[in-house]
Amino acid sequence: MTSIAVSALPRAEELDLLIRAKYPLLYVIAWEERRVEQLLRQVAAQRRKVLYGWTITDGLHPLDGSLRPESDDLTRDPLHALEEIAASREAAIFVLKDFHPYLDAYHPHPQRAIIVRKLRDILNHLKESRKTLVMLSPLLHAPPELEKDITVLDYALPTAEELAASLERVVRSAQELGGIRLRLTPEEREKILNAARGLTCTEAENAFAKSLVLRRALDAEVIVAEKKQIIRRSQVLEYFDAQEDLSLVGGMALLKEWLAKRALAFSERARQFGLPEPKGLLLLGVQGAGKSLVAKAIARQWQLPLLRLDLGRVFSQMVGSSEQNIRNALRLAESVAPCILWLDELDKGLSGLASSHISDAGTSARVFGSFLTWMQEKTAPVFVVATANDIATLPPEALRKGRFDEIFFLDLPNRAERSEIFAIHLAKRGRPPRRFDVETLARRSEGYSGAEIEQAVISGLYDAFEAGHDLSTEDILHALGETVPLSQTMEAHITALRRWARTHARPAS
Ligand SMILES: Nc1ncnc2c1ncn2[C@@H]1O[C@H](COP(=O)(O)OP(=O)(O)OP(=O)(O)O)[C@@H](O)[C@H]1O
Ligand SMILES: [Mg+2]
């Protein structure tokens, strides 16, 4: 996607500028056709151009409000339509709606080759004409053959003012139609509008209306719930309700200290003080060291929404093109910001690619590259937490300085940390730790990971339940004795990881 100019904030002025500058082929990604059409109508009027639309259902037709002439059925065929456009002598903007199916390189339409060729044929001619081609579609399928000639515009999500206007509309119609009088304090209003950030105007209006129906009031919770739905539908992001906070994480004193120092980093005060927003963390460590746990705990501790990015899905073409997927995900994350974007098991997500046939190495490298660039350049407060077990499969550029703020290595817990972890898991299951010989448990669990300690507690509980007595230190010791810890089965891997981490990462404790 690197060779395609992507603009973050296409507005009427920008469309106008590109059209005046004779950019021949614009690709506007947007769900809200009507809003873009309105903008184009404005631009066309200013520039004294005729505005035409094309859809597969109507063929080419004027879009400037003039009466539709007898529709020319032939132009429903995309190739015909392009020929018509090429032959036209008018100064005009042609809006091709939902043209993407003909451009898709992954699931090629039977006519794709000829249509892409036709586009290339007419491009040169367009550059010298007063005609502009605008593709308008919710999905991006920019043909690689045309990369150099297409300008992609991500239609920006509505601004705060536009959302406020949507809110106004809904409030007014609730009054007129439903007799509901809504008096919002400025604070309530702001809360509602913040909750709606990241929704399109239509989605926001639907969410407001839903809240009115459900609660007879505007409730930020209903709107947030609606946003979660939309995130879920994106298929590559998952909205996580994190339950555990840092008090449930044993050990890792240095990591906790680092996090505590940055807990307020997303506040307005920190901004004014001149603190940069933290970019993200890479948590590296053995299995069961608590990496995923920490990711969840950070979100809970900082009270930020946690979005998990499913790399497997990003690269699965069942869901769409990888470029499109990552782009959607990052945009959605930015619209929810401040938030935490969680890439769990980054190494597996990326190494799966190399060996799979779903995606070629070129695509995955490019898509991941664009992710790293985004990380480095992003301005929205999205804190990335990535976790990995293995550095060997991570692309070196992911580890380079400036990407993540810090790489933390989560080693197996030491004795004091094991005590803490035992205490946490006993307490979690309603057993006061002081009734157990936690010291002995910690001493006898050398080499066990946090996950294995938790398993020993659970396993002990089962034994005790079966034997008909309450959980005792002996039950847990017995369970410990029955498992071979990872530190033994994976010794070589752990040694290698430690060696690497000594020079490349900070210890978590
Ligand atoms: N330091 C810890 N303190 C408390 N509990 C822990 C700790 N480490 C691990 N656990 C327990 O083990 C469970 C599994 O850990 P987690 O899934 O976070 O490990 P991980 O590092 O992500 O492992 P993997 O590499 O297998 O994904 C946690 O949900 C938690 O209950
Ligand atoms: Mg994990």
For residue 6, what pLDDT is reported? 34
Give the confidence band of 23 by pLDDT, cuts at 50, 70, 90. confident
Compute CA 492 distance to the chain's CA centroid, rounded to the nearest angstrom. 35
Q: Which of 322, 311, 361 is nearest to 105 (CA)?
A: 322
Q: Is the pLDDT at 161 greater than 90, yes or no?
A: no
481/502 Cα distance (integer angstroms):
31
Q: Cis peptide before 101, with omega less than 30 degrees from 0?
A: no
Task: With H, G, I as helix, E, B as strand and everything else as coil, classify residue 99.
Answer: coil
Q: Which of 392, 418, 352 is nearest to 492 (CA)?
A: 392
Q: Which two tokens stand for residue 326?
A: 């990552």
Give the mean model confidence (pLDDT) for residues 298-321.
Answer: 82
Pocket test for ligand 1, best of 287, 454, 461, 494 (most atoms within 8 A of CB): 454
294/385 Cα distance (integer angstroms):
9
Q: Which residues line ligand 1 (CB under 6 A)?
A: 249-251, 285, 287-293, 387, 389, 421, 424, 450-451, 454
For residue 235, what pLDDT is reported? 76
476-494 residue pLDDT tens: 999 999 999 989 999 999 9
Compute CA 497 distance to the chain's CA centroid, rounded to the nearest angstrom. 29
For residue 426, what pLDDT is reported? 98
Query: In the chain, pLDDT over 70 holds for what percent of residues?
Result: 92
C-alpha of residue 289 to centroid of ligand 1, in Å: 5
For residue 91, what pLDDT is reported? 93
Pocket test for ligand 1, best of 292, 414, 428, 493 (most atoms within 8 A of CB): 292
User: Which of 104-113, 174-183, 281-290, 312-321: highest mean pLDDT?
Assistant: 281-290
For residue 323, what pLDDT is reported? 76
Q: Is the pLDDT at 4 greater than 60, yes or no?
A: no
Q: Where are the alpha helices (DSSP H) in 106-233?
A: 112-127, 160-178, 186-196, 201-215, 220-233
User: Which of 72-76, 224-228, 475-479: highest mean pLDDT?
Assistant: 475-479
For residue 143, what pLDDT is reported? 84
Q: Report the alpha-carbon angle 111-116-117, nearest 5.
A: 100
Amino acid code (one letter) for 503: T
Question: Look-up: residue for tokens 């020993």?
Answer: 456
156/275 Cα distance (integer angstroms):
27
SS3 assignment for 211-244 = HHHHHCCCCHHHHHHHHHHHHHHCCCEEEECCCC
Question: How close are the terminal C-alpha atoms of the chain, in Å?
Answer: 40
User: Which of 38-47, 69-78, 451-460, 495-504: highest mean pLDDT?
Assistant: 451-460
Q: Which residue has the higher pLDDT, 454 or 190?
A: 454
C-alpha of residue 430 to centroid of ligand 2, in Å: 25
**pTM for the whole structure:** 0.71
Give the mean model confidence (pLDDT) for residues 83-95.
Answer: 94
C-alpha of residue 415 to centroid of ligand 2, in Å: 22
461/467 Cα distance (integer angstroms):
10
For residue 341, what pLDDT is reported? 96
Give the confidence band of 361 by pLDDT, cuts at 50, 70, 90. low
Q: How big is the chain, counted in residues?
A: 509
Q: Is the pLDDT at 499 greater than 80, yes or no?
A: yes
Q: Which residue has the higher pLDDT, 28 or 35?
A: 28
Give the confidence band of 11 by pLDDT, cuts at 50, 70, 90. low
Query: For residue 99, what are the contacts with CB-CB under 8 A and spacing of at least 6?
Result: 54, 78, 135, 137
Give the mean model confidence (pLDDT) for residues 138-159.
Answer: 78
218/182 Cα distance (integer angstroms):
8
For residue 480, what pLDDT is reported? 96
Whether 196 and 163 have beta carbons less than 8 Å apart is answered as: yes
399-452 residue pLDDT tens: 887 789 999 999 999 999 999 999 999 999 999 999 999 999 999 999 999 999
Give the confidence band of 68 by pLDDT, cuts at 50, 70, 90. low
Task: With H, G, I as helix, E, B as strand and everything else as coil, classify residue 16.
Answer: helix
